[in-house]
Amino acid sequence: MPDPVILVVGSLHYDIMVESSTLPRKDETAVGSRWYPKFGGKGGNQAVSCAKQGVPSRMVGAVGQDDFGRFLLEKLASAGVDSRFVAQVAGVGSGMSVAIMDAAGDYAATIVSGANLQIAPESLTDPAIWDGVAILVLQNEVHEAVNMAAAQEARRRGIPTLLNAAPCRALSSDFKALVDILVVNAVEAEMMGSDPVCCLHSAADAAHHLAAEFEAVIVTAGGQGLAVWTAQDETFQLPAEKVQVVSSHGAGDAFIGALAYSLAGGNGLKQACQTAAHAAALHVSSPHQA
């Protein structure tokens, strides 16, 4: 039997990374030490993360017909991601972001969506997109109409949908009903209505709160670990591995890619979370750039 395919529908960004001793405050001009381009976008990063796990990864997205777009397509290809369904849109620039990372490895970023807002929802009905797909992965860097179309098609085909609700935004009740697994970090959980998350106990409370509207919820709490709650009132917590953090940039995408890989392979949610947490720990403790 062929390996199961992970389908990622989402964003592609040309990231400009800036390193600085500190993050600038409002109205402050900080002096950085270096900058470099990096492949990015939550969709693209998660598709590449899946491919790094050795599982077939397929991407649906859009880029402009520009140098940034060519860079993004080349990076997808070199990572082994199936990019046949990434549209090249005329007359609009590719998505991009500028991220500033400080000496502690923390970062702040601003994105410009560009071509990512041109993904056609009707394109998600193409049967070739869904050939061999075991799980659908979504984020919030594209229009909800695109996510809705993808999730509806996945539900029609009996394929589970995993939503990484980042960046946080209001979600329609119709879309929430199509999400099988919600993954949010501490900030996103609070923005979606939970109490503040500061430890594993509060992460579990946040997951319980969100499980009123989702089948299964994973709340990640950085160096504390993660908590899971399902609509059937099944719950567990996983403390984080203790590692020396080099950079937290992209850790969430590494987590999602490994989580989807494990679930696509038929593992249960607890084992998949263990696999994903380990992948995130390796990611934050390793140097990584373009």
Q: Active-site residue numbers?
A: 253
Q: What span, in angstroms and rounded, lies between the C-alpha atoms of 61 and 81?
A: 12
- What's the token pair of residue 27? 């109205």
Q: How far apart are the first and last CA of the chain?
A: 35
The greatest distance separating any two alpha carbons of the chain, rounded to the nearest whole angstrom, comes to 58
CA–CA distance from 36 to each of 101, 113, 252 (Å)?
Answer: 12, 20, 21
Helix (H) / strand (E) element for 204: namely helix 200-210
DSSP string computed for 247-282: --TTHHHHHHHHHHHHHHTT--HHHHHHHHHHHHHH
Burial (CB < 10 A; 0-12, 13-18, 19+), residue 21, is exposed
Contact call for residues 121 and 262 (beta carbons, < 8 A): no
